[in-house]
Amino acid sequence: NIRPAKTYDGLHSPVKPFDLVVVRENTEGFYADRNMEQGSGEILVTPDVAISLRRITRHCCERIAQTAFELAQSRNKHLSIVHKANVLKIADGMFIEVCREVGKKFPEVRIDDFIVDAMAALLVRDPAQFDVIVTTNMFGDILSDEAAGLVGGLGMAPGLCIGDGDVVMAQATHGSAPDIAGKGIANPYSMIESTRMMFDWLGHSKKIPEAIAMARAMSEATTVALANPNARTGDINGKGNTASMAKAVLDALK
């Protein structure tokens, strides 16, 4: 699950400009529906005792580490591993071990690692010091939402789920937001940017230059639209709505 977060001019982020990507393992970890062949990873032993199980496998650690290092290699050659190995010594210890082992194939990439609570504090203080962050499922979910909050909220939180082979799913990370359904105020950026990420993946993985060009054009168009306070939505200090933001992107794309 690839979740980028970056600042844009005019959005009044509380921190200095940054551009980072959280690479989140999305098939296991503290998510009850992703840990078992049958049944759930959560058990109610008695009315007063609940147990949650977390599965961490070497295979999934290797797969997400490889993805993260390839991304870091193409960006600023800096990868930060986030974990809780001081407490989850076996599972997160294996996660760090596997990430560093995969990292040997990428000698140009600088590697550091952080305990997740320290990372949460550092993201608030100075997110610009990070580039690519790789972590397990729940930690990645939380940290990517935190990073989006520094940009302007969950309306600025795109994502791309990349599976094995030919499968990808462009999916904004904010959910369906039923409380604002039909009001015309939802920020369309995260859906548009998720789609741009899908074009970019399609172009590079299938060597389709038109898809790469489309992704580049969409990136430029959203940047233009976000710079216009009359077009962008209220959640990011704008005077517009969903329709005006979408129209501004389309106009810039043309």
In this prediction, residue 77 carries a pLDDT of 98
In this prediction, residue 20 carries a pLDDT of 98
8 Å CB contact between 29 and 66: no
Would you name the residues annotated as active-site residues? 31, 84, 117, 141, 145
Residue 220 CB partners (closer than 8 Å, separation 6+) = 252
Q: How confident is the model at residue 160 (pLDDT cuts 50, 70, 90)?
A: very high
The residue behind tokens 């970890």 is: 29
For 23-61, the DSSP string reads: EE--SSBS-GGGS-SSS-SEEEEETTEEEE--B--HHHH
The per-residue pLDDT for range 172-204, each reduced to its tens digit, is: 888 788 999 999 999 999 999 999 999 999 999
Q: What is the pTM of this model?
A: 0.93
- Spatial distance between the Cα atoms of 181 and 164, rounded to a whole number of angstroms: 34
